[in-house]
Each structure stands twice: as structure tokens, then as C-alpha cells.
């Protein structure tokens, strides 16, 4: 299984809502990533987890809260988002951080109203 | 400054034709260079990954080249198909954990 899955595919939420994005992989990868991608722009790194520990936080606002409950699962908890947070949120994984190929999920299209 | 620049920004070609996309980088320390294909609204899919010692790498109709001296890479697509319409993103791994993304080239293949 060389697949990274993300749910939901689409999410519409108000600025006062709390929601979560989910990412799952069963390739035994120990590095997992969250990226944010705006239209016609490249992905921007948000968070990196290595062996279930947060290793990189690219100065992301606290309204985004990542969680890695186990080696297969990565969540992104969302609270009090702004309309400018609307974007495609991509999850990726690789065997360990660094020299390997990252496998990306299909993304969650988030719209904040 | 660590940057990855791609050209052209967008490209239209006819089905069956070949094309070449360019990537110049000023990333240090350089670990590897990756080309990804991204369909609209989907996650990127890896095409090739090259270290500094590799000059050419092929994946089907896709051939990537790397010149580590001039810090340039190209992606050549042979006999284009309609399904090649996508964004092609050049990504350089800086050090052991920092990916630097280019802005991408949007390719449209017309019948």
C-alpha cells in the first residue's frame, strides 16, 4: 500500500467552528508533513513530525494545531480560522525525514466562510 | 538566498509534441532535486529524484537532467499526451529536511 489518504476531501467551515483534518498512511513511514497550498502557488510547509514528535513548526498561527497520535495517523485541528486560511491542505509522508521521496495525499480543500 | 526558479511559468503544446521545462536553483547545501507532477486540486506525484552525482534520470516519457555545476535541471516530456496537462514542480532538498519548492510550470496539452 503506497497511498496516503486524507479526509475529508472538502470542508466548509465558519470562523467560529472547530474541525479536524485527518491523514493516514500504512507504509511504515515515520516522517509526516502538513502543507498549505493556495491556488497557483507551490505548497508551503506547515509542520513536520518525525517519529511522532513535532520537529518543525514553520511559525504557523496557533489556530492550526497538529497532532500525531500514532505512526500512521496525522491530524490537523482547526479553530477560529480566517477566510484567508482557505486553501488545499496536503499531507505527505516519507520513511524518515530527509533524503527519500515524499508521498503526498490528495489533499483537503478547505473553505472558511 | 535559497530559491528555486522555474520557467516558463506556463506552456501550451499540441498533443504528440515534445517539451522541456527548466529549473534553476540557488540552494545550499544541496541534497537532491525532485520533479513532481500535480493535477489541479490533487496532491503532487513524484516523477524523479536526483542526487548531485546523477546527470540524467528517466521515468517513462519523462526525462530529467541535472547539472550540479550550473545548478540547473530540466524535465523533458516526449510525445505529450492530454493527460500530461498539469503543473510541474521542481523541488530541492536543502540539508536533510528543508524542501524548497519552485512556483511550478503549468502545462496545457491541446488536441
What's the DSSP call for residue B2? -
B106 touches chain A (CB under 8 A): yes
From B11, B8, B6, B7, select the one nearest B80 (Cα to Cα): B11
pLDDT, tens only, B39-70:
988 899 999 999 989 999 999 999 999 999 99
More confident residue, B19 or B94: B19
A92 touches chain B (CB under 8 A): yes
Q: Which three cell numbers stand for residue B99?
A: 524542501
The residues in B 5-64 lying below 8 A from A, measured between CB atoms, are 31-32, 34, 36, 41-46, 49
pLDDT in tens, chain A (113 residues): 669 999 999 999 999 899 999 999 999 999 999 999 998 888 999 999 999 999 989 889 999 999 999 999 999 999 999 999 999 999 999 998 876 788 999 999 999 99
| Cα of B66 to nearest chain A Cα, Å | 17
Q: Which three cell numbers stand for residue A7?
A: 479526509
Phi, psi dihedrals of residue A86, rounded to the nearest 5°: -60, 125
Provide CB contacts within 8 A for A23, sequence distance 6+: A4, A5, A6, A32, A34, A73, A74, A75, A76, A91, A93, A105
pLDDT, tens only, A23-53:
999 999 999 999 999 988 889 999 999 999 9
Q: Which residue of B has its CA nearest to A36?
A: B43
Q: Do A67 and A77 touch, CB atoms closer than 8 A?
A: yes
Q: Which of B31, B44, B93 to mutate to test the interface with A (most CBs of A within 10 A)?
A: B44
pLDDT, tens only, B96-107:
878 899 999 999
| Cα of B22 to nearest chain A Cα, Å | 16
Q: Which residue of A has its CA nearest to B35?
A: A101
Amino acid at each position: 500500500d503506497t497511498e496516503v489518504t486524507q479526509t475529508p476531501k472538502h470542508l466548509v467551515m465558519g470562523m467560529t467552528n472547530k474541525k479536524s483534518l485527518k491523514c493516514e498512511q500504512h507504509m511504515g513511514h515515520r516522517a509526516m508533513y502538513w502543507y498549505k497550498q493556495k491556488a497557483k502557488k507551490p505548497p508551503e510547509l506547515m509542520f513536520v513530525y518525525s517519529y511522532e514528535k513535532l520537529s518543525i513548526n514553520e511559525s504557523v498561527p496557533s489556530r492550526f494545531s497538529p497532532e500525531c497520535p500514532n505512526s500512521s495517523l496525522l491530524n490537523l485541528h482547526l479553530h477560529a480560522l480566517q477566510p484567508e486560511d482557505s486553501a488545499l491542505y496536503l499531507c505527505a509522508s516519507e520513511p524518515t525525514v530527509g533524503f527519500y521521496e515524499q508521498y503526498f495525499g490528495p489533499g483537503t480543500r478547505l473553505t472558511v466562510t | 538566498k535559497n530559491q528555486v526558479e522555474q520557467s516558463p511559468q506556463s506552456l501550451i503544446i499540441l498533443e504528440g509534441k515534445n517539451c522541456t521545462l527548466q529549473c534553476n536553483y540557488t540552494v545550499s547545501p544541496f541534497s537532491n532535486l525532485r520533479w513532481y507532477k500535480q493535477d489541479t486540486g490533487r496532491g503532487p506525484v513524484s516523477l524523479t529524484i536526483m542526487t548531485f552525482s546523477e546527470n540524467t534520470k528517466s521515468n517513462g516519457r519523462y526525462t530529467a537532467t541535472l547539472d550540479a555545476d550550473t545548478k540547473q535541471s530540466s524535465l523533458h516530456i516526449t510525445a505529450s499526451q492530454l493527460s500530461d496537462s498539469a503543473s510541474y514542480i521542481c523541488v530541492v532538498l536543502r540539508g536533510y529536511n528543508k524542501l524548497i519548492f519552485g512556483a511550478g510550470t503549468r502545462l496545457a496539452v491541446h488536441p
